[in-house]
Amino acid sequence: MSVQEQILNQIKQYKTIIIHRHKRPDPDAIGSQMGLAEIIRASFPDKQVFCAGKNFPGFKWLGTADEISDDQYKDALVIVVDTANQPRVDDDRYTKGKALIKIDHHPNDDQFGDPMWVVPEASSTSELIFDFFYMFRPELKLSDEGARLLYAGIVGDTGRFMYPSTSSHTLEVASKLTTYRFSASDVNQAEDEIDMPLARLSAYVYENLKILKSGAAYLILSNQVLKPFGLGDESTSSIVPLPGRIKEVLSWAIFVQQKEGDYRIRLRSKGPEINELAKKYGGGGHPLASGAVVDNDDQIKLFIQDLDDLVKNSK
């Protein structure tokens, strides 16, 4: 029995299904979570399906998570999507259900859930959710809203189909999704739009980005720097791709200070693989898109040196 068949059998078995995704979500986290929920609701109207996690105003156009009581977990199937490791799961109650499934496209360094369906080569978890639906059609149904959500997730995690993870299969899936009744251009526009505070922060990025001779680059966004923009960490994801548009930049790190004082690192690359560096600093992710955390200025300096050495050696 395939892992997809195991997942479908468990979905059929449970009356209550609760879907989790990672903290500080992106369009793929929410799109795959809520897209899967739409598939299950459309296919099995008698089931109760909930989406867990914190709501963020910037992603309201993708939908909102549900209020879920502790009691609802007692006999529930929990599915965690788009989450590489357990500390990143939004809402610690994901372990409180009767069964746990993991569906993801990150390297499977933290193995949890039974069954696990992890495909690191996939462009996004939303692509996997569509593949799951397509494999079992017409038993499974996909609504127009579900298609919109999955398309949004794919667009988000492929950087508008610019990243190397975009395969011919990714484009085939996107093509099939656009046959449903929703506006792909509206989704593209929603993901590309920024407000004035983010526009000003974007200008700050280009003015203050430090580019080393190796092609490594970095930017430090302290709480003091962010305060005039009126933005928190969750609002800075839109500026992460910006250094990649500069020809001379090969890999880059954006350090975003948290309320507690430590720094979250958003790490990206055009070629040198940076996920092992992220692991060294307690993080992880994809070879060209990872994250980590450092505690103070001294660790930031060490990280920048390691990034510089990595890019030099990659040449």
For 108-145, how does the pLDDT look when each residue is reduced to its tens digit (9 = 90+)? 989 999 999 999 999 999 999 999 999 999 999 999 99
Q: Which fold has domain 196-314?
A: Diaminopimelate Epimerase; Chain A, domain 1 (3.10.310)
The predicted pLDDT at position 285 comes to 86
Model pTM score: 0.90
| Rounded distance between C-alpha atoms, residue 24 and residue 3, angstroms | 28
pLDDT at 58: 86
Radius of gyration of the chain (CA): 20
Residue 184 banded pLDDT, cuts 50, 70, 90: very high
Q: What percentage of the chain has pLDDT greater than the value 90? A: 90
Check pLDDT > 80 for residue 91.
yes
Residues listed for the chain: 315
Sequence-distant (6+) residues with CB within 8 A of 102 are 79, 80, 83, 111, 112, 113, 115, 116, 117, 118
User: Is 196-314 in the same CATH topology as 3-192?
Assistant: no
pLDDT digits (tens, 9 = 90+) for 33-71: 999 999 999 999 999 999 999 999 889 999 999 999 999
The average confidence (pLDDT) of the chain is 95
* CA–CA distance, 11 with 19 (Å, rounded to integer): 11
User: What DSSP string describes 10-33?
Assistant: HHHH-SEEEEE-BSS--HHHHHHH
Q: What is the pLDDT of residue 186?
A: 97
- In terms of Cβ atoms closer than 10 Å to its own Cβ (0-12, 13-18, 19+), residue 151 is buried
- Residue 23 is encoded by which pair of tokens? 């903290």
pLDDT at 111: 96
Q: Is the pLDDT of residue 235 over 80?
A: no
Residue 226 reports pLDDT greater than 80: yes
CATH architecture of 3-192: Alpha-Beta Complex (3.90)
Who's near 306: CB < 8 A, 6+ residues apart?
Answer: 277, 280
Q: Using CA atoms, how far apart are residues 302 and 62, in angstroms rounded to an integer?
A: 38
With 80 as the cut, is the pLDDT of residue 203 above it?
A: yes
Residue 231 pLDDT > 90: no
- Span 145-151, mean pLDDT? 98
Q: Is the dihedral of CA 174, 175, 177, 181 positive or negative?
A: positive
Over pLDDT 70: what percentage of the chain? 99
Q: What are the sequence ranges of the domains in the chain?
A: 3-192, 196-314
CA distance 144 to 265: 36
- Please tell me the distance from the alpha carbon of residue 287 to that of residue 290, in angstroms, as a whole number: 7
